[in-house]
């Protein structure tokens, strides 16, 4: 006889135990009740049916198996040798089915699995991003978060090729027609100056006019790497009447600050970069312009994964964002 692996068809709760034989989950449940109680009357009460229907179900099961499973004795029933072997083979099935159903339901609610999240390098110091991760982990502790860093262009490509599910990114430059963007609070941008800069001679200036830096060299990440922040910095300079002189470029915003510390120039960076307390760098509010670093949470319109919806709901909770950009 061609014995096939035990399979579970959830919708009908049918078990293909051997070729040509089917046993339904209710048969397993009734069999185990009689085996445990060793009495048809008590077993019937336990499973919530009458004794005659229970006896009929057991007879049907024995017909399917082709062997008597119980030996009727005064005041009860005991397992035959075939019944003992049958019980050993199937007694874990109800628990396995319950576990499978629970696992399917949890996955369907987005409570398990892997969520791949991208973020731009300029967000490395932004407290909003780790706060969002922390809030999500607390709500969905069994979802694994994997993180990918890149610029907005590479993150957009990652969303499209399926290597990323959702991304914190800077909108405004890349094509987002196929994406949904959930806007998040804009981040003010500030000046990053060498600590020995001439405008800091008195040491007590809380703000600096951007126009006073028209002769300074500006250190920025290349536009191809960070187009949104690059354009925002350039436009801020133009808004106060000058075209910035571009000096050495740096691949990462942290590298930009290292060059500022080395007195190679000045820069305009997101406010959160103040958390990178780099010796030789001083941050000042811009007095005559108000550049901002836009931030959004993006995912493909065609991606309807429940985990993404859960992440969006968590991130958009206002209690996460309130008061954290001051």
Q: Identify the bridge partners of residue 71 per DSSP, sorted by sequence position.
A: 78
Q: For 279-312, how does the pLDDT look when each residue is reduced to its tens digit (9 = 90+)? A: 999 999 999 988 998 888 999 999 999 999 999 9
CA-to-CA distance for 291 and 232, rounded, in angstroms? 6
What is the per-residue pLDDT for 283? 94
243 and 262, same domain (yes or no): yes
- pLDDT (tens digit, 9 = 90+) per residue, 66-81? 999 999 998 889 999 9
Same domain, 269 and 317: no
Q: Which of 107, 118, 111 is nearest to 146 (CA)?
A: 118
Domain of residue 175 covers 113-185+294-321
pLDDT of residue 316: 80
Is the same domain home to 208 and 288?
A: yes
For 257, other C-beta atoms within 10 Å of its C-beta total 21
Last residue in a domain, options 105, 130, 163: 105
Tell me whether residue 141 is in a domain. yes
Among 296, 297, 258, 299, CA closest to 279: 258
Taking the C-alpha atoms of residue 51 and residue 47, their distance in angstroms, rounded to an integer, is 10
DSSP strands (E only) in 179-315: 179-194, 207-208, 217-218, 245-246, 267-270, 281-286, 292-300
d(CA 176, CA 156): 8
Q: Dump pLDDT digits (tens) for 178-229.
A: 999 988 888 999 999 999 999 988 766 789 999 999 999 999 998 888 888 8
Tell me, yes or no, whether 161 and 231 share the same domain.
no
CATH number of the domain residue 167 falls in: 3.40.190.10
* Domain-ending residue, one of 57, 80, 105: 105
Share of the chain above pLDDT 90, in %: 59
If one counts every other C-beta atom within 10 angstroms of the C-beta of residue 33, the result is 21
CA–CA distance, 120 with 190 (Å, rounded to integer): 18
The sign of the CA dihedral 30, 36, 39, 42 is negative
Is 296 in contact with 182 (CB distance < 8 Å)? yes
159-168 mean pLDDT: 94
For residues 94 and 31, membership in a common domain is answered with: yes
Same domain, 122 and 140: yes
pLDDT of residue 163 exceeding 80, the answer is: yes
Considering only CA atoms, which of 156, 136, 107 is closest in space to residue 313?
Answer: 136
pTM, 2 dp: 0.73
pLDDT attached to residue 242: 95
pLDDT band at 158 (very low <50, low <70, confident <90, very high): very high
- Residue 275 confidence (pLDDT): 86
Overall domain count for the chain: 3
Q: What is the DSSP string of 84-121?
A: HHHHHHHTTHHHHHHHHHHHHHHHHTT-SEEEEEEE-G
Residue 288 and residue 299 in one domain: no
Residues contacting 323, CB < 8 A, separation 6+? none
* Residue 120 Rama label (left phi>0; alpha psi -120 to 50; beta): beta
In a domain, 276, yes or no: yes
Distance CA 60, CA 206 (A): 87
Residue 2 lies in a domain: no
Phi and psi torsions of 276, nearest 5° = -85, 85
DSSP element (H, E) containing 319? helix 318-321
């Amino acid at each position: 006889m061609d014995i096939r692996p035990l399979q579970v068809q959830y919708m009908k709760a049918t078990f293909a135990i051997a070729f040509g034989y089917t046993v339904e989950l209710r048969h397993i449940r009734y069999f185990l009740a009689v085996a445990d109680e060793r009495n048809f009357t008590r077993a019937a009460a336990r499973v919530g049916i009458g004794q005659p229907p229970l006896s009929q179900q057991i007879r049907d099961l024995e017909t399917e198996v082709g062997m008597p499973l119980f030996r009727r004795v005064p005041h009860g029933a005991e397992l035959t040798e075939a019944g003992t072997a049958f019980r050993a083979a199937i007694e874990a099935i109800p628990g396995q089915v319950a576990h499978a159903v629970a696992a399917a339901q949890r996955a369907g609610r987005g409570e398990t699995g892997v969520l791949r999240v991208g973020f731009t390098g300029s967000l490395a110091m932004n407290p909003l991003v780790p706060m969002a991760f922390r809030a999500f982990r607390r709500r969905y502790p069994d979802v694994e978060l994997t993180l990918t860093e890149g610029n907005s262009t590479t993150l957009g490509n990652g969303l499209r090729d399926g290597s990323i599910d959702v991304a914190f990114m800077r909108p405004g430059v890349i094509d987002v027609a196929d994406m949904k963007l959930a806007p998040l609070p804009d981040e003010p941008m500030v000046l990053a100056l060498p600590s020995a800069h001439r405008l800091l001679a008195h040491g007590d200036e809380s703000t600096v006019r951007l126009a006073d830096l028209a002769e300074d060299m500006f250190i920025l990440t290349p536009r191809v790497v960070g187009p949104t922040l690059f354009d925002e910095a350039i436009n801020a300079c133009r808004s106060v009447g000058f075209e910035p002189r571009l000096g050495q470029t740096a691949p990462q915003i942290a590298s930009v600050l290292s060059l500022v510390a080395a007195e190679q120039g000045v820069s305009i960076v997101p406010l959160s970069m103040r958390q990178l307390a780099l010796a030789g760098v001083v941050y000042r509010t811009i007095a005559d312009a108000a550049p901002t670093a836009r931030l959004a949470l993006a995912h493909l319109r065609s991606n309807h994964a429940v985990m993404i919806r859960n992440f969006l709901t968590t991130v958009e909770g206002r209690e996460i964002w309130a008061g954290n950009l001051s």
